[in-house]
Structure 1
Amino acid sequence: MADILVVEDEEAINELIRRNLKLVGHTCFLAMDGETAVEMINNKSFDLIVLDIMLPEMDGFEVLEQVKGTPTILLTAKRSVEDRVKGLVMGADDYLTKPFEMLELIARVEAILRRTKKDEDTFVIDNVRVEFHSRRLLLEENVVEYTPKEFELLEVLIRNRNIALSREKLLELVWGFEYIGESRTVDVHIQKLRKKLGLEKRIVTVYKLGYRLEV
């Protein structure tokens, strides 16, 4: 997985980001101000930087000037177009406006890491091998047949492993915002994945909420 530097002066948000990125397998390094972040950047190579704009000592834009080729996601409480444009022009890869959902941050982190080839293209759990680029599923080296939605559901569970996802959130992430249907659809697809891949003990039911892939 990836080494990620989180630069955020609000301790609670900093720790929340660290915990959630750690859950999905990343290693996080924390900085509470711009000067510390620049010092860390100069002494270590990171795969990705999550960078707040409003920082003490040195703001996020000043830090961004010191970033040399490292993918960066900007965090800002400001909603002005000027800030977003400035950050992107300076080389930021993406941005999120506070408050944001942690699942959205994780999704953007994974998307950037895939583009920069810093994230693994293959995921293995027990006897199951998932190849994202070729979209192949293998169980004990035997190819498993699946529907497009089954693969997308499995990928969402993998990308958000160890995190409980509600049925509604899974519907949103896999079937889209405008999907009209019952959450029972999720249950049916989960049961099919468990049966096809032998992941009954890995894809666990979260009581009165949804599901979680335990890794």
Structure 2
Amino acid sequence: MVRILIVEDDEAIANLLYMDLRDEGYQCVNAYDGKQAADLLEENTDFDLILLDIMLPEIDGYELLEYIKPTEIPVIFLTAKGTVNDRIKGLKMGADDYIVKPFQSGEVIARIEAVLRRYGKSEKRLNFADVKVDLESRKVFQEGKEIDLTVKEFDLLVELIRNKNIAQYRDKLYEKIWNEPFMGDTRTLDTHIQRLRKKLGWEDYIKTVFRIGYRLEG
């Protein structure tokens, strides 16, 4: 799973980014000042990308970028410093992209995907239990045998694996997969979940969460 470090001292912005990116299947960690981010990076450097504010307490983003460079982790600046000179400075220092506040989450996600593709870090495969999912070919294999899934069954499986052990609300899950407002009828979603369970033999893995929805356990 792609891991992203969010370094942002505005907790509301940081938490919003965390939730939006988590919903897209990314694993995120928040740091609310430069020193906390430096400590996290000292502990481990297995992050695939860093979203970095410039105006941070303790250690600012420019100084932190110098610390990050040797790790070769791609960095996207998120900042209110939006002049041309600020952008040029950030990019010349080695940032891979520069996003000016206020921003839309969709723009941030698109920029992240572009940088990850450039570095060859885009998520290509998912594994859970005895199942392997190839995201590029949209094929699913169980113990080496290809499992025939419909488009929506495949999308549901990916969403459940990316959020394993987290309860998924029926309405949010439906809107994510069908890309349309949830009108209160759960039959379509429930039927697809039942088929997915049967095709994979995952009755013990895909749990029904009373009055909420579903959770993939394991």
TM-score (norm 2): 0.65
Q: The residue matched to 1:201 in structure 2 has which SS?
A: coil
Q: What SS does the aligned partner of 1:143 have? A: strand
> Which residue in the other structure is 2:173 paired with?
170
**1:174 shift after superposition:** 0.9
Match of 1:57 in 2: 58
Give the letter aligned to residue 175 of structure 1. Answer: W
**Separation in structure 2 between the aligned mates of residue 48 and residue 97 of structure 1, nearest angstrom:** 19
* Moved >6 Å (runs of 4+): 10-14, 80-83, 94-98, 107-110
Partner of 2:194 in structure 1?
191
Residue 172 of structure 1: how far off its partner (Å):
1.8
CA contact (8 A) 1:165 1:209 kept: yes
Alignment RMSD: 4.6
Q: Deviations over 1:75-103 (max 9, x none)?
A: 67x7x9879x959x7445586989x99xx
Question: Is 1:146–2:140 an aligned residue pair?
Answer: no
Distance 1:64 1:126 in 2: 38
| Partner deviation per Cα, 1:4-36 (whole Å, 9 max, x = no partner) | 54434478968xx59x97xx89585x6442245
- Aligned with 1:174: secondary structure? helix
Comparing 200-209 and 123-132, the one that deviates more: 123-132
User: CA distance change for structure 1 residues 187 and 145 in 2, over 3 Å: closer, same or farther?
Assistant: same
Which digits, 9 at most, give the CA deviation of each residue in 1:19-76, with x for residues without a partner?
Answer: x97xx89585x64422453576588643222434552134446545654352346667
Partner amino acid for 2:50? I
* Long gaps (5+) in structure 1: none
Quickly say closer, same or farther: Cα 1:40–1:167, change in 2 above 3 A.
Answer: closer
Counterpart of 2:37 in structure 1 is 37
Query: Structure 2: which amino acid aligns with 1:126?
Result: A
How far apart are the structure 1 equivalents of 2:174 and 2:100? Answer: 22
How far, CA to CA, are the matches of 1:97 and 1:197 in structure 2? 44
| Counterparts of 1:110 and 1:198, CA distance in 2 | 35
Tell me how far 1:166 sits from its aligned partner.
Answer: 0.8
Which residue of structure 2 lines up, in the alignment, with residue 208 of structure 1?
A: 211
SS at 1:146's partner residue?
A: coil
User: What is the distance in 2 between the residues matched to 1:169 and 1:214?
Assistant: 18
Q: Does 1:48 align with 2:49?
A: yes
Larger-gyration structure (1/2)? 2
CA–CA distance in 2 between the matches of 1:50 and 1:199?
Answer: 37
Q: Tell whether 2:73 aligns with 1:70.
A: yes
Q: Is the 1:64–1:92 contact (alpha carbons within 8 Å) kept by the matching residues of 2? A: no
Distance in 1 between residues matched to 2:100 and 2:155, nearest whole Å? 24
Paired with 1:177 and 1:82, the residues of 2 have a C-alpha distance of 38
**3-state SS of 1:205 partner:** strand
Q: Give how far 1:185 is off.
A: 1.4
Looking at structure 2, the residues matched to 113 and 183 of structure 1 have their Cα atoms a distance apart, in angstroms, of 37
Preserved contact between residue 97 and residue 111 of structure 2 (Cα < 8 Å): no
